[in-house]
Structure 1
Amino acid sequence: HDTTKKYPKHDEVLMPLVAFLNNRIDYQGNKEIIKGYGFKEIEREVKEMCDYANFLERKARNEGINQEISQGIN
């Protein structure tokens, strides 16, 4: 979802969720989106979600690489 656009319905709930779950938005971007929707600053939670999203991305990438290596694709 493009974070510069609004959801037609329930944007005040959906956009913060998009920010939390989107691993392409950096920590500062997430923080600004959350603050822009009137949520109290939840710095620790935002940082943990960014770190977790990055962890999942690295894990998936490494598993894909390992699978390619074990199948002799490389």
Structure 2
Amino acid sequence: MHTWDLAAALHRSTGALDPTPAEHGLAFMQANLTDDNRGPAFGSEQPAPQGADAYQRLAAFAGRSV
């Protein structure tokens, strides 16, 4: 998650990064993060753009506007 946040803040792409960490993070969050326990750090799931990379899909699931 922090990888996407940092890349977004620096106006950098995450497309060339190894997708494995983001895929694992997304799987974990999908299994454990519910609407009831999102807290202030995670907004409601947002739509990921078509063709989004793993980091963008993770960010969208965590409530970031991608």
Per the normalisation by structure 2, the TM-score is 0.28
Name the one with the larger helix percent: 1
Per the normalisation by structure 1, the TM-score is 0.26
